[in-house]
């Protein structure tokens, strides 16, 4: 399969991983819209919302709550937007949930490695 997210799960492509368990992998988006822009993906390949099972979907939402706490503590965020695209707007055809932090004051976009270091320390 030529899926970039499956390649990340399999370790063929490196990622700035924030969290991982038996079902999901969580990593920083390498083309972020905002500092801390994070993706949660299931390790098993599901195409979209209509393909994924409810247990995995609920697990992803539970992990999103944990990651929001980490982003809030480490990056001092003021809110969070969750985005999940299907069909035409879905660039990678592997289910993924975007976590996009919000900030009261506009933040200068930092290099992903620098954001990762702030979060992982």
45 is catalytic: no
Choice among 45, 76, 94, 96 that is catalytic? 96
How far apart, in Å, are the Cα atoms of 84 and each of 5, 11, 89? Answer: 15, 24, 9
| Contacting residues for 45 by C-beta, under 8 A, at least 6 apart | 1, 3, 5, 6, 94
Tell me the CB-side half-sphere exposure of residue 22, using CA atoms within 13 A. 1
Question: What's the full length of the chain, in residues?
Answer: 121
> Is 15 within 8 Å of 27 (Cβ atoms)?
yes
Which active-site residues does the annotation give? 96
């Amino acid at each position: 399969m030529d899926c970039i997210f499956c390649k990340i799960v399999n370790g063929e492509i490196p990622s700035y991983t924030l969290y991982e368990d038996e079902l999901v992998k969580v990593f920083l988006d390498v083309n972020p819209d905002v500092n801390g822009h994070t993706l949660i993906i299931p390790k098993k390949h599901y195409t979209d919302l209509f393909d994924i099972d409810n247990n995995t979907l609920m697990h992803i939402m539970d992990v999103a709550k944990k990651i929001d706490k980490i982003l809030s503590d480490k990056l001092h965020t003021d809110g969070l937007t969750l985005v999940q695209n299907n069909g035409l707007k879905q660039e990678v055809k592997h289910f993924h949930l975007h976590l996009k932090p919000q900030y009261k004051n506009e933040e200068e976009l930092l290099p992903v490695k620098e954001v990762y270091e702030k979060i992982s320390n």
